[in-house]
């Protein structure tokens, strides 16, 4: 079965409404699947409400559903399902929202969903994620930018792709800031993990993957890192088959 993934760097560009810039890509991706209703995974959204985690999930579902309704689709959240594993098996598509990757991965391991999701997607279930939702498509979450607010059972993720993504990738070095740049952090990762590509996925860009085809979409290039090699820029439309 064809693997169909839409891996989005960020939900919202500065000054835009929520999920504004990726709307055409989301609509096109779902239209190609022929589905109108998708299962939403909100576990990365831990700070959307002052009334606790369940209220945060409720608020996240409502926010995302508002956008998807405008596009002609509907989502329903896994946190309302009595049997989360069965809900994955019954889903027509999976959408994973951004937020804190540590909490998202914690919950997916806690509910024993990693293998269920992986098996479903590798058997053709369409998968879409942004930010943390893109992180978990990778072999590990170790290229996230997020604070470890909770300790997952494992840092291992879905391995739907063979490379790592660093969402929200920034080239900037802030004047007066003594900490490492994003590139330096990724270089540390590659010293320890020197056999894997890392994609710096800038905001306003995404990766569309259809089985053995991968395409960068958006208006900005992405930066690819590999241990022992100089980082290289790839423009939208460039051949990226080496990543697969």
| Residues with Cβ within 8 Å of residue 52, at least 6 apart in sequence | none
Highest CATH level, class, for 4-243:
alpha beta
Q: Provide the pLDDT for residue 180.
A: 73
Element (H, E) at 54: helix 53-70
Q: Are strands 74-77 and 37-41 parallel, antiparallel or unpaired?
A: parallel
Two structure tokens written together for 231: 């980082």
Angle at 131 between CA 188 and CA 2, to 5 degrees: 100
Q: Provide the pLDDT for residue 146.
A: 95
CB 78 within 8 A of CB 44: no
Q: Provide the pLDDT for residue 186.
A: 94
Q: Provide the pLDDT for residue 151.
A: 98
Q: Provide the pLDDT for residue 53.
A: 87
For the annotated catalytic residues, the residue numbers are 131, 146, 168
Only one residue has tokens 């293998």, namely 115
Q: Provide the pLDDT for residue 1.
A: 66
From the list 75, 129, 141, 59, the residue with the least C-alpha distance to 97 is 129
Two structure tokens written together for 75: 């989502």
Question: pLDDT tens, position by position, for the chain (244 residues)?
Answer: 689 999 999 999 999 999 999 999 999 999 999 999 999 999 999 988 778 888 899 999 999 999 999 999 999 999 999 999 999 999 999 999 999 999 999 999 999 999 999 999 999 999 999 999 999 999 999 999 999 999 999 999 999 999 999 999 987 655 655 557 889 999 999 999 999 999 999 999 999 999 889 999 999 999 999 999 999 999 999 999 999 8
Question: CA–CA separation, 5 vs 171, rounded Å?
Answer: 26
């Amino acid at each position: 079965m064809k693997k169909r993934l839409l891996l989005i760097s960020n939900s919202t560009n500065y000054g835009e409404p929520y999920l504004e810039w990726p709307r055409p890509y989301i609509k096109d991706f779902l239209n190609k699947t022929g589905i109108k209703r998708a299962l939403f995974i909100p576990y990365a959204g831990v700070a959307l409400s002052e009334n606790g985690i369940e209220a945060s999930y409720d608020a996240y579902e409502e926010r995302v559903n508002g956008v998807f309704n405008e596009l002609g689709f509907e989502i329903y959240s896994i946190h309302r399902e009595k049997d989360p594993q069965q809900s994955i098996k019954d889903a027509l598509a999976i959408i994973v929202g951004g937020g804190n990757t540590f909490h998202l991965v914690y919950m997916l391991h806690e509910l024993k969903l990693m293998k269920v999701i992986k098996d479903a997607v590798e058997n053709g279930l369409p998968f879409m994620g942004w930010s943390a939702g893109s992180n978990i498509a990778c072999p590990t979450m170790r290229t996230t930018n997020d604070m470890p607010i909770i300790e997952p059972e494992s840092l291992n993720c879905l391995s739907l792709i063979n490379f790592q993504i660093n969402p929200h990738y920034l080239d900037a070095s802030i004047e007066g800031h003594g900490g490492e740049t994003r590139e330096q952090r990724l270089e540390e990762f590659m010293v320890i993990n020197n056999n894997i590509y890392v994609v710096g996925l800038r905001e306003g860009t995404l990766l569309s993957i259809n089985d053995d085809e991968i395409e960068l979409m958006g208006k900005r290039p992405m930066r690819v890192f590999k241990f022992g090699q100089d980082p290289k820029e790839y423009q939208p439309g460039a051949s990226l088959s080496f990543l697969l």
